[in-house]
Amino acid sequence: MKAFVSVDLEGMPYIVSPEHLMLKRALYEEARRIATRVTKIAVEALKSCGFEEVLVADSHGPMVNLLVEELPEYVEVVRGFPRPLSMVAWVEECDVAVFLGYHAKAGTAKSTFDHTYSGSTIARVEVNGVEASEFLLNAYVAGHHGVPVILVGGEAKLLEDDVAKYAPWAERVLFKRSASRYAARSPSMAKIEKNLKDAVGKAVLKFNKGEAKPLKTKYPVEVAVTFVKSSFADAAELLPGSKRVGGLTVKYKAKDIVEAYKTLELLVLAAYAVNTMT
């Protein structure tokens, strides 16, 4: 069996400052060590539960965050950005998915680094009328390929809201509970290690019993993207078939979630380009 592990940074334990999140910033190396350690705990637990191969998707920012030389030999790593399907590239090759370091959607109160896909360009994403977090977007793509998300480790608000609501079968591992956008409390790494190992075991047991389900949405897909600037919506409106429904919001339809996700990636890249002009 083969497991897929998508690794973000904002929902990792102890990560609370913008200095943690960007290349060459003061606390970035600390964040890399934390994320790598958490990832190693998870992949080693998956290996002990019978997964011969693990595909790890380095999924934050430039997507070159993990200390790859510290990962075991049975792990392959997806790195680099942009890439098709971003945080869940090659998930279709795997039997199960695990999301680590995940965070709440944009606009969530008292949640560290709340955002959806691109905090600098997007204020809100809706999929078939449902406000989506990165967890939900990525779980839908995995579900499209018949791959269930069996475990999510991350920030409390995401676990208590979207994960519990949309994937109640998935094991939830608390990495931190936030007091504000830039403050949170986390358990000790020893406790996180124990909880994560226990949760992997429970998650795999559920999967083996057929209790974990691929998460799916209806097709065709209607997506509404609300941007943080009207100029970003100006660019998005150029997409053939799209419809401007407000100063900041553009809607489009796609045949399935994979096409919808790739289109969202393209709109974000277009917004980045517009931002360099102003």
Task: Identify the CATH number of the domain in which residue 153 sits.
Answer: 3.40.50.10780
Structure tokens that stand for 250 in this block: 């553009």
Same domain as 186, residue 246:
no
Same domain as 266, residue 143:
no
The answer to whether position 111 is within a domain reads: no
Count of the separate structural domains present in the chain: 2
What pLDDT score was predicted for residue 21? 96
Same domain as 149, residue 272:
no
What pLDDT score was predicted for residue 157? 98
Q: Write down which residue in 169, 187, 208 finishes a domain.
A: 208
Same domain as 176, residue 72:
yes
Token pair 């007091």 in the structure block, residue: 179
Same domain as 156, residue 264:
no
The answer to whether position 124 is within a domain reads: no
Q: What is the C-alpha to C-alpha distance for residues 243 and 36, in angstroms, rounded to an integer? A: 42
Q: What is the C-alpha to C-alpha distance for residues 76 and 57, in angstroms, rounded to an integer? A: 9
Q: What is the C-alpha to C-alpha distance for residues 261 and 278, in angstroms, rounded to an integer? A: 26
What pLDDT score was predicted for residue 278? 75
What pLDDT score was predicted for residue 203? 98
Note whether 96 and 4 are within 8 A (CB): yes
Same domain as 243, residue 142:
no
pTM across the whole model: 0.97
Structure tokens that stand for 168 in this block: 């109640």
The answer to whether position 149 is within a domain reads: yes
Question: In CATH, what number is assigned to the domain containing residue 248?
Answer: 3.30.1360.130
Q: Write down which residue in 208, 231, 248 finishes a domain.
A: 208
Same domain as 83, residue 191:
yes
Residues of the chain predicted below pLDDT 70: none
Same domain as 92, residue 20:
yes
Same domain as 152, residue 251:
no
Same domain as 155, residue 266:
no
Same domain as 171, residue 49:
yes
Same domain as 174, residue 98:
yes
Domain that holds residue 173: 2-105+133-208
